[in-house]
Chains A and B, each alone.
Chain A
Amino acid sequence: DAKTTQPTSMDCAEGRAANLPCNHSTISGNEYVYWYRQIHSQGPQYIIHGLKNNETNEMASLIITEDRKSSTLILPHATLRDTAVYYCIVRARDDKIIFGKGTRLHILP
């Protein structure tokens, strides 16, 4: 079973920051937080991952709380192409990835 809890769906206005929350209260010390997204009918796409420090790359920022029990994925300037299902996953090194139901993000024009 997935170890994360995410809202079923969210809306965000185009050009605004999209903040996607994720709860992972049972995360272990050796587990990383990963975010993937899946645009309709395509394979999942890696976005970002982190252990305990906040991370930023060209796609997004990942904010992990100090107790590591929750995190937030931030898309700084959402576009219509960011409409997708976003999956938050916790995973130990070399372990399999277990997907939950994810959050369906709708970017509104």
Chain B
Amino acid sequence: DAGITQSPRHKVTETGTPVTLRCHQTENHRYMYWYRQDPGHGLRLIHYSYGVKDTDKGEVSDGYSVSRSKTEDFLLTLESATSSQTSVYFCATRTGSTNYGYTFGSGTRLTVV
């Protein structure tokens, strides 16, 4: 398999608490992405990374931060979780050309109560 592991798979947290989601890959892919998926919106890009310690914002980055200290790990942090951040979060990677497509993890379902 593609070797992308997201953890946790499910999480319920309270409003105002910080939350960190982890994406771990064993493919040595350079590019990594965090998307959120909500009904009617498809997948929306939160942040992405094009190398260790190199990250950039996507279209819905407010309230989120990321870190990539190693090639294999890409962390997404919700600094102070809100109910609007209830969603399914997907990590994706790609190696070189976009033509080869993205490989996605199985997702993390986050509920903020």
A and B associate: no
